[in-house]
Structure 1
């Protein structure tokens, strides 16, 4: 495996790859870092020489981490069960419940991205017409999501929606009585020994649940190992079972659980530009790839993964 990976990296087939960590049986099998131009969301960081201690944007892999954090908060009685009404968690927007279709939305619809609302996030994340960017620019990000036009019955179809994760993050924040990033640090990262982390906030002070987390690749791999290990008494095991149960089908044909992609034999977190977390239970394998192909493709990270899995 290591030889295949090194050949791909040396050949230039993955020019935007920044990092790779492979754990097998909980032990580091491969760890590689490169250099390249990088960003923290839309803020240029210039040319970065990556190493083990360099934090990297996870982009939408952040969503999968939020999925873990919700389970911890649920065990502590801080957040409702997924079947509870969504609008009930936002009483300041109770006027929106006048529409019975909106009133019927549940937290699970947000966890599975099956809200049935109008949402367009297939534009570059520099475009204000992108749903997530429009949400960031809105006077009230949560109302912005909750009042989107309803285009179909909830639960019928998966639609990629960073706004759904923003709602989940806010429910955690309200239940915990502190920002999502602080709660995640205290209840997920620190118990696992993850001391280096950053989670950006919007201008309104809300943690960017959908895309703002930065971790070291080795620590993201540890989160994957935690899933593989059944939660390590940090994330509840029963929640992992629910989180990773097939509940929807994405546009690409993957399964989807609670903020995690489910492919045959794997659980995955995927982020813009080539951020990948892949957990393969049968092989006791965790693979993390970070890359800088933002708003372009996943080609570099896919080339590295193909080498890892000999595809």
Structure 2
């Protein structure tokens, strides 16, 4: 696998690659670190030599981590069920709840990004015209999301929305009495032995459930290995197994041919089903249960329309040929 990766790097097929960690059948079989310019959100970090303890933006992989944290809180009875009315979790907006169209919204519509609201994230993330950035700058992120114009019935179609993830983060914080980062640190990361992480916040000080998490790449792989093991780690059930089954069930098609689950994606690679998380710049966490495989990738191709090429090349040219 190392030789395949070296050849792929030499061929220029994995530009901007910062780190790769591969776990196969519970054993780490590849660990690679590169160097290059990096950013923390839009703050330049300059040239970085990456290593096993270097924190890296995981960007929208944060959404998938938030879904795991939601599942933990759900198992504790601290957050509403997916079928519950969404606006019941935000009682400070009675004007929005009085709208019959918005009253139809459920937590599941946030989990599947099918709120049916206007939301434009195709604009680069360094622009306040991007809906996620506008949300982070808004005085009230939850009202900002919930009052977006409704353009289609909820549940009709997957439409990418960091706002949907922000609402889940709000439900977690309200239900647990802890910030999203505090509860995640105590109930997800600590049981996995993850001691170092950062969770960036918007101008309101609220940790971003959509894109704020920074993790070392081996720790991201550790999260994937826990998912592969059905939520267990070190003999402890960290995430309820029933939640993982529900979370990873394919629900709505996405534009590139895969399916959206609850804040996770699913698809097939080399003929084998996978579930995974993706983030701007080429961040990727891929779990292939049938192969006992977990792959965590960090890259720096932020806002690049071709950012998917680097993680795809690692998976298709290096990892899958080495284990099948």
| TM class by smaller structure | over 0.9
1:236 counterpart = 2:240: yes
Matches of 2:261 and 2:315 in 1, distance apart?
22
- Residue equivalent to 1:59: 59
Aligned: 1:252 with 2:232 = no
Matches within 5 A, 1:13-162: 13-162=13-162
Is the 8 Å Cα contact of residues 121 and 161 (structure 1) preserved in structure 2?
yes
Q: TM-score, normalised by structure 2?
A: 0.94
Q: Which runs of 4+ in 1 moved over 6 A?
A: none
Q: Are residues 1:163 and 2:166 paired?
A: no
- Equivalent residues in 2 for 1:288-299, closer than 5 Å: 288-296=296-304, 297-299=307-309
C-alpha displacement of 1:2: 2.4
> 299, 309, 312: which one pairs with 1:302?
312
Q: Aligned-pair distance for 1:247?
A: 1.2
Instruction: State TM-score, norm by structure 1.
Output: 0.98
For the residues of structure 2 that align with 1:238 and 1:15, how far apart are their CA atoms?
A: 39
Instruction: Give the SS at the match of 1:215.
Output: strand
Distance in 1 separating the partners of 2:74 and 2:94: 23
Ranges in structure 2 where 5+ consecutive residues have no aligned partner: none
- Comparing 157-166 and 4-13, the one that deviates more: 4-13
Question: 1-side partners of 2:23 and 2:10: how far apart?
Answer: 22
SS at match of 1:92: coil
Mean Cα deviation higher: 160-169 or 199-208? 199-208
Please state if 1:186 is matched with 2:190: no
Structure 1 unaligned regions, length at least 5:
none
Q: Can you list the C-alpha shifts for 1:245-266, whole angstroms capped at 9, x where unaligned?
A: 1111112221111100011300
> How far apart in 2 are the matches of 1:96 and 1:257?
27
Contact 1:278–1:287 (CA under 8 A) maintained in structure 2: yes
Identify the residue that residue 265 of structure 2 maps to in structure 1: 261
Separation in 2, partners of 1:98, 1:157: 24
Q: CA deviation at 1:300?
A: 2.0
Deviation of 1:10 after TM superposition, in Å, equals: 2.7
Deviations 1:2-24 (A, max 9, x none): 22112112332212000000000
Q: Would you say the 8 A contact 1:59–1:213 is kept in 2?
A: yes
Matched residues in 2 for 1:252 and 1:94: separation? 38
Equivalent residues of 1:268, 1:276 under 8 A apart: yes
How far the C-alpha of 1:93 sits from its partner, in A, is: 0.8
Is 1:285 aligned with 2:293?
yes
Query: C-alpha separation between the residues in 2 aligned to 1:272 and 1:132?
Result: 13
What is the CA deviation profile of residues 219-244 of structure 1, one whole-angstrom value per residue up to 9, with x for unaligned ones? Answer: 10010000100101000000000000
Q: CA RMSD in A?
A: 1.0
| Separation of aligned partners in 2, 1:251 and 1:15 | 24
Equivalent-residue separation in structure 2 for 1:19 and 1:284 (angstroms): 20
How far apart, CA to CA, are the structure 2 residues paired with 1:101 and 1:89?
Answer: 16
Do the aligned partners of 1:88 and 1:94 also contact (CA within 8 Å) in 2?
no
Single out whichever of 10-19 and 79-88 deviates more from structure 2. 10-19
